[in-house]
Amino acid sequence: MCCVRTELQVLLVDFLKQENAVSHHTWEFQTSSPVFRRGQVFHLRLVLNQPLQSYHELKLEFSTGSNPSIAKHTLVVLDPRTPSDHHNWQATLQNESGKEVTVAVTSTPNAILGKYQLHVKTGKHILKSEENILYLLFNPWCKEDTVFMPDEDERKEYILNDTGCHYVGAARSIKYKPWNFGQFEKNVLDCCISLLTESSLKPTDRRDPVLVCRAMSAMMSFEKGQGVLIGNWSGDYQGGTAPYKWTGSAPILQQYYSTKQAVSFGQCWVFAGILTTVLRALGIPARSVTAFDSAHDTEKNLTVDTYVNENGEKITNMSRDSVWNFHVWTDAWMKRPDLPKGYDGWQAVDATPQERSQGVFCCGPSPLTAIRKGDIFIVYDTRFVFSEVNGDRLIWLVKMVNGQEDLHVISMETTSIGKNISTKAVGQDRRRDITYEYKYPEGSPEERQVMDHAFLLLSSEREHRRPVKENFLHMSVQSDDVLLGNPVNFTVILKRKTAALQNVNISGSFELQLYTGKKVAKLCDLNKTSQIQGQVSEVTLTLDSKTYINSLAILDDEPVIRGFIIAEIVESKEIMASEVFASFQYPEFSIELPNTGRVGQLLVCNCIFRNTLAIPLTDVKFSLESLGISSLQTSEHGTVQPGETIQSQIKCTPIKTGPKKFIVKLSSKQVKEINAQKIVLITK
């Protein structure tokens, strides 16, 4: 009697949840598809129409991208009963119980990133289902992965932490800006995987974090009909959201994913925030970094050139280079097998569209080691980043002599660019200064040697040296941050070789500007002649509050006051110049939130604010945001007079368990942003 062999069929495939997936935190993503990291084992449960026999054919096919092929590594075919080469994906039978089979699958540590479709083939029958989709990410827990990060505390910070901050303001007045990265939020990872597909990356390029970082840097900004976020530094944000109003990445990425339309509007910290989120979601350790007094060297000559007239007014059509009060970008962690030995580790990646790199608005990844050494031609864009943090600044005085422009350098500053480079500390809500990772200490022999090395690589002689002064040694200008509505004092400090009595003419030109150096409004010119005696002298210029108050309503941005001051010794005709910035201080406000809350139960936040300013605040609004609640909550209060105290209640309902950071912001026409925050433990 002969045996009839019936065809084997797979009726159902399940991805099983397992401990190593929990330890790799892939189950925290709010996605409909399972998420795994490359080099990590995962398990499949197959439900068959009959017990598996030795003569049955059983193959697993994992494919990614269009037109998948084995040759391009976009199609992986596995037989769980046949051992694979150790360089390839692995699949092994773990358990057989009647008509159910469990298979363990391990991808390679250099597998292609992205969305995979699973087909199960049994003879002529192939199980195809849109539900059999998985996402594969980089794996900083895997030693063989190029993004491996050995320290667990750093992995928690740079991969798993979904809240953090940016540092903004000025070098002398650093402000903390809370930011929700939200990489595990609904549709965020789906958006990131979609961005990989939308980018110019070939599928095989998606195995390389260097190329992925570069592509994601380009995809963050909108250009030629593609990209997540539209940059806007105009001060006019009609038709979109003012950049300072964003407090997290998730709403931006979710909106882009649902509409496939670029989101309006962003500035550097917003671009850095969404890029940090995207890289963390994809499995690349990332941190947001701020450099204060950051240069934009448009001429790519390693110097920042500013041209001023005799009143200290910047000549805008000549001054193409600029210095931003602060600039925020992202550092990504990876090995660099594409470079000579010694360039692994942190790499600078910038999503803010400033200069084209190989024809595209993107920047990096540039090794911090190369930046520190002045190896300016190490890819990618190291020369640009080097100038941002370590360029020399030249101040040119432009005079009209016999109808001709006469230019000469009146100041060469070697320590003014790239100060207090900052990031959030690992595991703590405090600032960590990482300037030393980007450059040697200012004024040190090593720092000057690096500059000489960079100029040598540029094959460019430094045409200018520090101006020789017979009497004048040094000039600096100090200003304290000013409470909005109060006068601003600028103290000019003059150091001379002589203590003899001399006369000095001081000219100052003041304007309201954005953090990028863009002029918003001319405020005034101040001139003063003083007699000075002694080797160190001080002269004070005072800017009345009336000169700036009315200009604050012009823009929907956080402004600063910039002063450019020129001092000339009457007797010797020696001239020096210096630039100074003054930021505004605002009153604080307090919030009252319980230490704990429950999912689905009302949570009440009490906000208390007293206007200690000398001016009324209009269009006052409180807003509360957290990754633990369903949506942004707001409360409006109109006008708050000087000395008036207001209280507000904002009610919300938590939807997720765990310690959740609640960010409360106060904004008005005059005060763009004050924030307070508290962590609340949400339980079931």
* pLDDT at position 463: 59
Task: Looking at the structure, tell me whether residues 194 and 305 fall in a common domain.
Answer: yes
Task: Looking at the structure, tell me whether residues 581 and 609 fall in a common domain.
Answer: no
* pLDDT at position 626: 92
Task: Looking at the structure, tell me whether residues 347 and 266 fall in a common domain.
Answer: yes
**Looking at the domain assignment, is residue 630 inside a domain?**
yes
**Looking at the domain assignment, is residue 94 inside a domain?**
yes
Task: Looking at the structure, tell me whether residues 437 and 510 fall in a common domain.
Answer: no
Task: Looking at the structure, tell me whether residues 207 and 97 fall in a common domain.
Answer: no
CATH number at residue 306: 3.90.260.10
**Looking at the domain assignment, is residue 419 inside a domain?**
yes
The last residue of a domain, from among 563, 585, 607: 585
Tell whether residue 442 is among the known ligand binding residues: yes
Listed residue (548, 557, 553) closest to 672, CA to CA: 557
Tell whether residue 558 is among the known ligand binding residues: no
Tell whether residue 185 is among the known ligand binding residues: no
The last residue of a domain, from among 111, 137, 163: 137
In the annotation, is 43 catalytic?
A: no
Residue in 192, 213, 268, 363 annotated catalytic: 268
The last residue of a domain, from among 392, 424, 459: 459
Task: Looking at the structure, tell me whether residues 300 and 425 fall in a common domain.
Answer: yes
Region class of 459: left (phi > 0), else alpha (psi between -120 and 50), else beta: left
Contacts 24+ apart (CB under 8 A), 174-177: 174/292, 174/420, 174/422, 174/431, 175/583, 176/431, 177/269, 177/673, 177/675
**Looking at the domain assignment, is residue 178 inside a domain?**
yes
The structure tokens listed for 49 are 């129409």
**Whole-prediction pTM value?**
0.94
Residue 374: φ, ψ to 5°: 80, 20
Q: Are 195 and 256 in contact (CB under 8 A)?
A: no
Residue in 73, 166, 327, 637 annotated catalytic: 327
Flag residues of the chain having pLDDT under 50. 1-2
In the annotation, is 3 catalytic?
A: no
Assess whether the previous peptide bond of 440 is cis (omega < 30° from 0): no
Give CA–CA dist 402/35, Å, rounded.
Answer: 73
**Looking at the domain assignment, is residue 454 inside a domain?**
yes
Contacts of 546 by beta carbon, 8 Å cutoff, 6+ apart? none
* pLDDT at position 1: 44
Task: Looking at the structure, tell me whether residues 83 and 225 fall in a common domain.
Answer: no
Domain interval for residue 644: 589-682
* pLDDT at position 397: 86
Task: Looking at the structure, tell me whether residues 132 and 202 fall in a common domain.
Answer: no
**Looking at the domain assignment, is residue 143 inside a domain?**
no
Task: Looking at the structure, tell me whether residues 441 and 499 fall in a common domain.
Answer: no
Task: Looking at the structure, tell me whether residues 359 and 395 fall in a common domain.
Answer: yes
**Looking at the domain assignment, is residue 467 inside a domain?**
no
How many independent structural domains does the chain possess? 4
Residue in 321, 331, 350, 375 annotated catalytic: 350
The structure tokens listed for 50 are 């009959």
**Looking at the domain assignment, is residue 173 inside a domain?**
yes
Give CA–CA dist 273/283, Å, rounded.
Answer: 16
In the annotation, is 165 catalytic?
A: no
Task: Looking at the structure, tell me whether residues 445 and 315 fall in a common domain.
Answer: yes
Task: Looking at the structure, tell me whether residues 576 and 609 fall in a common domain.
Answer: no
Q: Are 159 and 178 in contact (CB under 8 A)?
A: no
CATH number at residue 540: 2.60.40.10
